Amino acid sequence: MAVLPERDRDKEQPKNYRVIFRRLLSYMKLEKWRFLLGMALVVTANLIAIWGPRFAGEAIDAMGIALGETNFLLAITRSLLMLAAYGGAAVLNFFMVRLVVRAAQNVVERMRQDTFDKIVELPISYIDTHQAGDLVSRISYDLDLVSQSMTHDFVQIAASSITVVGSLIMMMRISFSLSLIFLVILPATVIFTIYRVRKTRPLFRARSKKLGEMNGYVEEILFGQKTIQAYDKEEFFADEFGEVNSDSINAYYKADYQAALNGPSVSLISNLSLALVSLFGSLLFLQGRFSIGNLSSFILYSRRFSGPINEVANIFADLQSSLSAANRVFMLLEQPSEPADNDDAHILTDTRGEVEFKDVSFSYNPEEAVIKNFSFTAKPGQLVAIVGPTGAGKTTIINLLMRFYDPQEGEILIDGYPIRNLSRKSLRRSFAMVLQDTWLFSGTIRENIAYGRPDASLDEVKQAAEAAHIDDFIDSLPQGYDTMLTDEASNLSQGQKQLLTIARAMLLDTPMLILDEATSNVDSHTEIIVQDAMNNLIEGRTSFVIAHRLSTIQNADHILLLVDGEIAEEGTHDELLSKEGAYYNLYQSQFA
């Protein structure tokens, strides 16, 4: 199907982080009280914790240096104050985490719901031109990144900056000259860390990419294992895997090799600080400008330093990717939904089922017209068979009837009403639809049959199943109509799935029917049953059938032979055969 330009637009949109961030903030406002309280707790906790080293130093000073100099009361109170500072901070952090997690999860729940709601409201054209995996990953993967950022990153940035700045201030208050060490170490650390992150990020991206490729290869080749064995080619593919494996191992190693520097470097900064503080602290102490308690506080402060800087550097990189992730979600949310009905839209009731196409032309993309000047009228109750080669526009006719797409030219009328002026809901509800691609969802068989009419009684569901010849099968299941269908109904055969969707259509009792006959993947015996069920369904409805079966075509009141989007020939089976034209040739090649 045509590829519309939306996908490219997603990519080309300049990433204005400020705009994305503001948009994210507007979501976070939903939980602003929890977030604000959480932030207040982080700030308080870290401000309290900063006093810990200070109290520890004072406790040590209270011990004195020489024998018997100890001021016990002071030593004990300062030790307990230290514990109170750290302990208090820990308790506050405990509540903070809970608040922020709850807030972030509430916000993300809302974002997920909005994204999902958008997906089901999008026009079919969007879904047709975008990969399902891409849409799924926006909800699952992208929003997960956003949630992690909301939970950890903002909090961590606040905590780290308070720790770093607060520690620096505390140290300056104790000894300005000794803090000069950190005025050198701090910027050096920041620059080094940023440099490292820049250097390793691309390597880690490359590593994920290579791992992904290897996963893909493994998945693909293992699927063909039996065939590979039949051709006795295990060695060939094992050798081929050798290359893929090497690539992924090398990418992993390269990233690891660079990352091998990170841990030791964080320790180096911490250890260097310790060494320098010890050296210069001792010298100052010797000059009597510095107590041993001061030295102790300094050491504890310096130990708190290197971790946060490293973390913040990583967080900024994380934030970047989660803002990009948020952006992908916002781009999706900005897509226009299926337009609303006109204010004066007519609501279709008591439909007779007369359908008229008037000079309809349609294309998925401007270069290629799919339907050209299509005109045709179906009378109530008629069976219209649409035949023609793949790509001739058969499915498009159905898309237009259901208003999944609107034609560029011409109009379609039902009972004389142009469908553009009908409420979409009433239009679509007047059709029952059985598509080639059977759709069942995880739920019970009963829920699946009653999908269009959740209020249907069990008796009605059973009648529908009977008319679709699937009742015996359902009755044979231990749980009967309450049997759960799981994992895209993988526990059913293709034919059984088809019968279930026929039962679903049966239950709707609509004046019109759209049917896409599918024959592949069903064995001959099942096919006879399916065909009979379909015949039951067609009866009494204006039916549009994309026909594959000769019997359907022979019974049709009207056959449309589509070739390249135009009606090449139309009429009944016999009329068309007697013309000895395109239909005749087709028939001869297929059935004679």
Partner 1 sequence: MLKSYVKPHISKIIVNAIVKMSGTVLEVVLPTILAYIINQVVPTRQVNSIINWGLVMVACALGAWYLNVKANRMASKTAAMTIKDIRHDLFTRSLGLSARQIDRLTVSSLESRLTSDTYAIHRFLGATLRMGIRSSMLFLGGVVFCFILSWRLALVLLVLIPPLLVVVRYILKRGIPLYRQVQVRVDDMVQVIRENIRGIKVSKALDTTEYEKDRYAVANRDVKDAEVAAAYRMSALSPLVNIILYSGLAVVLILGANLVNVGLVQTGTILAFMSYFIQITNSLLGLNRMFNIYNRASASASRISEVLEMPLDINQKQDETYLRALPDPHPSVPEVEFRNVSFSYLGKKLNLEDVSFKLYPGDTLGIMGATGSGKSTIIRLLLRQYDVNSGEILLRGVNIKNLHSEELLSLFGSVFQNDFLYSGTARENIAFGRDLTEEEIIEATKHAQAYDFLNKKHGLDFILASKGVNLSGGQKQRLLLSRALAGDPTILLLDDSSSALDFRTEANLRQAIRANFSNATSIVITQRVSSVRAAREIIFLDEGRVIAQGTHEELLQNCQPYREIAEMQTREGGGSLDYDMSYA
Query: Shortest approach of partner 1 to residue 220 CB, angstroms?
Result: 5
Selected from 36, 173, 257, 579, the binder of partner 1 by CB under 8 A is 257
**5, 8, 29, 116: which one binds partner 1 (CB under 8 A):** 116
Question: How far is CA 338 from each of CA 117, 123, 127, 363, rounded to the nearest angstrom?
Answer: 12, 5, 11, 18
Assess 202 for contact with partner 1 (CB under 8 A). Answer: no
Pull the structure tokens for residue 294.
Answer: 């001061």
| One residue of 177, 231, 477, 579 binding partner 1 per CB under 8 A | 231
Site residues (CB under 8 A) for partner 1, limited to 469-508: 487-488, 493, 508
454 vs 446: CA distance, rounded Å: 9
The Cα–Cα gap between 128 and 156 comes to: 41
H-type alpha helices, 50-153: 51-63, 72-121, 124-129, 132-137, 143-148
Query: Is residue 336 involved in binding partner 1 (CB under 8 A)?
Result: no
Query: Please, what's the b/e burial string for 460-484 (b: 16 or more CB within 10 A of its CB; e: otherwise)?
Result: bbbbbbbbbbbbebbeeeeeebebe
Point out which span in 10-18, 166-174, 227-235, 355-363 binds partner 1 (CB under 8 A): 227-235
Return the residue matching tokens 């269009």: 452
420 binds partner 1 (CB under 8 A): no
CB of 15 to partner 1, least distance (A): 25
Nearer of residues 359 and 580 to partner 1, judged by Cβ: 580
Q: Which C-beta is closer to partner 1: that of 135 or that of 384?
A: 135
Instruction: Compute CA distances 229 → 222, 233, 237, 245, 591, whole Å.
Output: 11, 6, 10, 21, 38
Start-to-end Cα distance in the chain: 33
Q: Looking at 113, 177, 208, 491, which residue binds partner 1 (CB under 8 A)?
A: 113
User: Which residue lies nearer to partner 1 by CB, 194 or 268?
Assistant: 268
C-beta closer to partner 1: residue 12 or 472: 472
For partner 1, the binding residues in 519-578 under the rule CB under 8 A are: 519-520, 522-526, 528, 531, 547-553
Which residues, 6 or more positions from 53, have their beta carbon under 8 angstroms from its beta carbon? 167, 170, 296, 297, 298, 300, 301, 304
Pattern 48-67, binding to partner 1, x per CB under 8 A?
----x---x--xx-xxxx-x
Give the closest residue to 586 by CA, choosing from 389, 371, 295.
389
Minimum Å distance from CB 437 to partner 1?
Answer: 8
Of residues 13, 177, 208, 215, which one binds partner 1 by CB under 8 A? 215
DSSP codes joined into one string, 123-190: -HHHHHHS-HHHHHHIIIIIHHHHHHIIIIIHHHHHHHHHHHHHHHHHHHHH-HHHHHHHHHHHHHHH
Binding mask 268-297 for partner 1 (x = CB under 8 A): x--xx-xxx-xxx-xx-xx-----x--xx-
Question: If binding is defined by CB under 8 A, does position 346 make contact with partner 1?
Answer: no
Nearest to partner 1 of 157, 268 (CB atom) = 268
Nearest approach in angstroms of CB 242 to partner 1 is 6
Q: Determine if 132 is a binding residue for partner 1 (CB under 8 A).
A: yes
